Structure 1
Amino acid sequence: MNAELQARASRFNAFPVSEYDQYVAGHPRATPYHSSAWLHATQSAYGHTGWLISVHRNGNLCGVLPLVEVKPPLGASSLVSLPFCDLGGVLADNADIREQLIAEASTLAKTNRIKTLEIRAGGAALETEQAIEGLPAQTKVRMLCELPENSEALFKSYKPKLRSQIRKAEKNGLGAELCSEADAVNLFYDVFSQNMRRLGSPVHSLRWFKDLKAAYDDQMLIAVVFQDAKPVGAGIVLLSGKQACIPWASTLEEFNRLAPNMLLYWTLLSHVCDLGYTCFDFGRSTLGEGTYRFKKQWGAQPYELIWSEYHNGVQKKASVDPNGTGPSGLSRLRPLIEYIWRRLPLTMTNWLGPKLRRYITL
């Protein structure tokens, strides 16, 4: 059987995209991040080279591994599957093909003199309290929620406290709109960029989100929460197969007492539920912390995140760190850097942030 398999590494823009997307659409472990749209936006917005590792059997595609080559101006380059999100990783017909894809990716890294190959994958559900308690402190997990047949059933599944919090936002005069037009990106970015400055973190470029919208088209939804005409909350959802994921959501801190986040999530959850999506990916959280508890109240359950690094073909476990990894000296300086960043003008953080963010692969 192995003699029939052919593995190769191709530049993303040289591979038949329709063949790739067709395979992704039919694979049960595919996520919205596996879509060629993610590679399109990464390349067009930030100039990172996209690669596809593929395996064919008798001319038929039977495994893929999407990768992005990130070359910072200082430091070593990396091949990541996938940057700027929680996971990408291998999609394959069987375990043997999976190993062949990783081996070919390691060869590509060696050929291109790239130090690190990083593969981010999702794992099994953490179904018992014993399984969760056995994990180290600061463990990052992926939070997934199964959706019922419609939003009415979803709302009835919530505890009274959660239902009252959703109604609280409406009683406080907030309204939400679901947008599919490209112009909604600007409304989202107005909220998102302010929130990222508050967190002391470099922001993605506006072009990144515009290129994502152009690439995903109607498979990218934007919800905006308003107080009168002012956007006070916004979030993005990507769609694929029967799965919806929310990579970014933000609210303005001064309006949080009005519960815009509750209305934001309910607007998105109810909409995708009524569209027939059966799984909602709330994204990465640290076990037991605030965002973990927030997502759990909506019915989300923790799943493993398995990030692996390969150096010269040798595998080691990578750190799943929302702040990124780096030299210990930089880690000690992080609180000071964040303090300074919060006090910069918004125009400055929106200009400087993307120049840094394009090389931060988390």
Structure 2
Amino acid sequence: MTIKIITGKLINQERWDTYILTAPNASPYHLYGWGVAVENAYGFTCYRFAAIKEDEIVGVLAIINMRSLRGKKLLSALPYCDIGGIIADNKDVYSVLQTHLLNFAENLGIAELEIRNSESEVKDLKKVTSGEKVRMFLDLPSSEEALMEQFKSKLRSQIRKAEKNGLRYEVVMGSAIKTQELESFYEIIAKNMKALGSPVHSKQWYKEVISQYGSHAYMAIVYSENVVVGAGLVLTLGNKASIPWASTLNEYNRLAPNMLLYWAVLAQATKQGISTFDFGRSTVGEGTFNFKKQWGCLPIKLQWQSFRNGEALIELPSKSSPSRDKLASAWRCLPLPVANFLGPILRRYISL
């Protein structure tokens, strides 16, 4: 077995994605296009490792050479998403790729390294504890009718409430998303990121993701009359889908746009033959976790690995701290135009 380390566009994208499409533990973020989007939007370098045995790919890893807010060099697999670590046919290949990566980081003189993995089995809700970081997964049936039927009556009534309130939705495939639809999506995301106390990504980042993913993406948009009040972007991989970004306008929450938005993305997923839907990262016991739980989601624990000078660290993903909480509070106080200007400048250096 040999390990090939290739930068830029020298590796065959089709061959990479073909392997990812058949790998059981892969996610949409493992597709070749995620690294390209990072390079094009933020100017960082993506290194791609491929383990080759008898001319067949048996494992891959894409990793981004970036800098943190403090200016330190960092290798991240992968930034801006929940999971992007090593994909391998077996534990031996995984071990070889990880060892090769640690040596690669040492040769580059980069001390900080992070690999974002998660457990492969869904855990019972009773077996996760408050404060843990998890991904939330929902198994989907083969039709919209069966999907609606599997929800509890309270959830079904909340979806119908949104429709009775005059809300409607549209679904647009990635290659057909128009400039104005992206603008509306970005306005909502930017407004809510400020409310959360977090810098927003650049608009170019979202453009690049949509451009790179094309048929592997779709956007659901919720309208109140002709006003966009909610939108979510979904990325797909075979029979799996993930929703990294979704948001609604707070001033319309009384109309339940978030319920219609998630119904829209799930209904579209069933139409596309998606059987596993990833609602994304949550903290057990917090509001987003409880929102996702009501849809019937089960958690998978995140297992992010951090290394410093080749030594593994014990660290929870996106662990909160008093200083981070203070910065978030200060960010919420900024005028929206200022936050939207400064946000993308800072966000590129935040790997979360």
| TM bucket normalised to smaller | over 0.9
Q: Distance in 1 between matches of 2:235 and 2:166?
A: 28
Q: Give the direction of change, closer, same or farther, for the CA distance of 1:129–1:159 in structure 2 (3 Å limit).
A: closer
Match of 1:171 among 156, 164, 167: 164
Match of 1:214 in 2: 211
Q: Which runs of 5+ in 2 are unaligned?
A: none
Q: Distance in 2 between matches of 1:201 and 1:57?
A: 44
Q: Give the direction of change, closer, same or farther, for the CA distance of 1:65–1:167 in structure 2 (3 Å limit).
A: same
3-state secondary structure, aligned to 1:168: helix
- CA positional deviation for 1:127: 3.2
Asked if the contact 2:69–2:350 (Cα under 8 Å) also holds between the matched residues in 1, the reply is no
Match of 1:62 among 58, 64, 85: 58
Partner amino acid, structure 1, of 2:165: N
Q: Distance in 2 between matches of 1:106 and 1:337?
A: 32
Matches within 5 A, 1:275-314: 275-314=272-311
Q: Give the direction of change, closer, same or farther, for the CA distance of 1:289–1:186 in structure 2 (3 Å limit).
A: same
Aligned residues: 348
Q: What is the aligned-residue RMSD (CA, Å)? A: 1.6
Q: Give the direction of change, closer, same or farther, for the CA distance of 1:305–1:22 in structure 2 (3 Å limit).
A: same
- Are 2:336 and 1:346 aligned? yes
Q: Distance in 2 between matches of 1:286 and 1:343?
A: 24
Q: Distance in 2 between matches of 1:147 and 1:266?
A: 12
The alignment's TM-score, normalised by the length of structure 2, stands at 0.94
3-state secondary structure, aligned to 1:284: strand
Match of 1:327 in 2: none
Q: Distance in 1 between matches of 2:88 and 2:232?
A: 31
- Are 2:87 and 1:91 aligned? yes
Asked if the contact 2:161–2:256 (Cα under 8 Å) also holds between the matched residues in 1, the reply is yes
- Are 2:231 and 1:265 aligned? no
Match of 1:21 among 10, 13, 17: 17
Asked if the contact 1:182–1:214 (Cα under 8 Å) also holds between the matched residues in 2, the reply is no
Asked if the contact 1:182–1:210 (Cα under 8 Å) also holds between the matched residues in 2, the reply is no
Match of 2:118 in 1: 122
Partner amino acid, structure 2, of 1:13: K
Partner amino acid, structure 2, of 1:191: I
Match of 1:145 among 127, 132, 138: 138
Match of 2:240 in 1: 243
Deviations 1:122-148 (A, max 9, x none): 20435335522xx4x411111011001
Match of 2:47 in 1: 51
Q: Give the direction of change, closer, same or farther, for the CA distance of 1:74–1:294 in structure 2 (3 Å limit).
A: closer
Q: Give the direction of change, closer, same or farther, for the CA distance of 1:129–1:72 in structure 2 (3 Å limit).
A: closer
The alignment's TM-score, normalised by the length of structure 1, stands at 0.92
- CA positional deviation for 1:230: 1.2
- CA positional deviation for 1:345: 2.7
Match of 1:234 in 2: 231
Shifted more, 305-314 versus 139-148: the winner is 305-314
Runs of 4+ in 1 over 6 A off after TM superposition: none
Match of 2:153 among 144, 155, 160: 160
Partner amino acid, structure 1, of 2:189: F
Match of 2:322 in 1: 332
Q: Give the direction of change, closer, same or farther, for the CA distance of 1:317–1:12 in structure 2 (3 Å limit).
A: farther
Match of 1:108 in 2: 104
Q: Distance in 2 between matches of 1:88 and 1:319?
A: 16
Deviations 1:228-265 (A, max 9, x none): 11111111100111101000111111111111000000
Asked if the contact 2:223–2:230 (Cα under 8 Å) also holds between the matched residues in 1, the reply is yes
Asked if the contact 2:169–2:222 (Cα under 8 Å) also holds between the matched residues in 1, the reply is yes
Q: Distance in 2 between matches of 1:147 and 1:65?
A: 29
Shifted more, 220-229 versus 145-154: the winner is 220-229
Matches within 5 A, 1:182-193: 182-183=177-178, 184-193=181-190
- Identity among equivalent positions (%) equals 41
Q: Distance in 1 between matches of 2:142 and 2:319?
A: 33
Q: Distance in 2 between matches of 1:200 and 1:292?
A: 19
Deviations 1:154-197 (A, max 9, x none): 00011110000001111111111112223222221011111111
Partner amino acid, structure 2, of 1:120: R
3-state secondary structure, aligned to 1:295: helix
